[in-house]
């Protein structure tokens, strides 16, 4: 079996209404890189986010935008929080050997 690792690239992030708004790409020192549905990558600086978290037990990603930053990102619409779930490539009962 190939070495397994957490792979968060490509996770669809939905707004509070369930509309896919962005796709998680990368975490960089400059900020969080999101792909927009128009196939454009946008780097959201860390200062524009109140929180960006990964819940390992539930397999959930949550990105919460700072109130002051929301006006800079028209593609957010009325959304304040984007969330998504990742699907593991393998179901593991125990760590691989």
Residue 35 lies in a domain: yes
Residue 48 structural domain: 11-83
pLDDT digits (tens, 9 = 90+) for 40-61: 999 999 999 999 999 988 889 9
Residue 45 lies in a domain: yes
The torsion angle over the Cα atoms of residues 87, 9, 67 and 72, rounded to 10 degrees, is -140
Residue 3 lies in a domain: no
Residue 27 lies in a domain: yes
Please give the model's pTM, rounded to 2 decimal places. 0.85
Of all residues in the chain, the percent with pLDDT exceeding 70 is 93
- Domain tally, the chain: 1
Residue 89 lies in a domain: no
Centre a 10 Å sphere on the Cβ of residue 63 and count the other Cβ atoms it contains: 22
Q: d(Cα 47, Cα 68) in Å, to the nearest integer?
A: 10
Residue 44 lies in a domain: yes
């Amino acid at each position: 079996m190939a070495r397994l690792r957490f792979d968060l690239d490509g996770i669809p992030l939905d707004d509070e209404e369930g509309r896919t708004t962005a796709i998680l790409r990368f975490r960089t020192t400059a900020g969080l890189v999101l792909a927009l549905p128009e196939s454009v990558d946008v780097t959201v600086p860390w200062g524009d986010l109140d929180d960006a978290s990964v819940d390992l037990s539930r397999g959930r990603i949550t990105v919460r935008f700072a109130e002051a930053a929301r006006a800079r990102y028209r593609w957010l619409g009325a959304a304040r929080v984007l969330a998504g779930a990742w699907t593991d490539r393998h179901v593991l009962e125990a760590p691989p050997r």
